[in-house]
């Protein structure tokens, strides 16, 4: 039996994404969804000495890159890079299956990271000492 190939479709934003928009995508994405969250050379694009971006856009891009890495650490996405040219890459997040045992929402994880209480559960997200 021939299994064939599957075409992967990557969503590419028409404008630079914000950290909040990335989080919204992660929250609603189904396994296998792909989002190109940046195109360029991320490490240089956020470095003040080499960046061609204004300070505010560079700071937002740094937050976006950090959030993407955080989402990967949480097991929510895989992060991949695709070379598009010399010193140019497409940075892509691929949605992973949501953990079945996790009863915690993405917003609860974000609040816990910031040490703020989760109003739904009343917990602060920090362990008692």
Q: Name the DSSP class of 14.
A: S
Q: What pLDDT, on a 0 to 100 scale, did the predictor assign at position 128?
A: 38
Q: Where are the domains of the chain?
A: 10-97
Q: What pLDDT, on a 0 to 100 scale, did the predictor assign at position 13?
A: 73
Confidence of residue 123 (pLDDT cuts 50, 70, 90): very low
pLDDT tens-digit map of 91-116: 999 999 987 755 556 667 677 777 76
9, exposed or middle or buried, with CB in 10 Å at 0-12, 13-18, 19+? exposed
More confident residue, 9 or 66: 66
Helices (H), the chain: 19-28, 42-45, 55-73, 106-114
Q: Provide the Cα torsion 106, 110, 112, 117; round to 10°.
A: -90
């Amino acid at each position: 039996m021939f299994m064939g190939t599957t075409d992967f479709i990557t969503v590419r934003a028409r404008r630079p994404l914000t950290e909040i928009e990335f989080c919204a995508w992660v929250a609603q994405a189904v396994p296998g969804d792909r989002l190109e969250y940046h195109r360029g050379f991320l490490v240089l694009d956020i470095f003040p000495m080499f960046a061609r971006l204004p300070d505010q856009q560079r700071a937002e891009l740094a937050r976006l890159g950090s959030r993407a890495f955080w989402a990967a650490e949480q097991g929510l996405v895989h992060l991949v890079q695709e070379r598009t040219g010399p010193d140019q890459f497409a940075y892509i997040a691929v949605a992973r299956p949501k953990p079945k045992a996790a009863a915690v929402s993405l917003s609860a994880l974000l609040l816990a990271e910031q040490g703020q209480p989760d109003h739904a559960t009343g917990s602060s997200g920090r362990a008692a000492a």
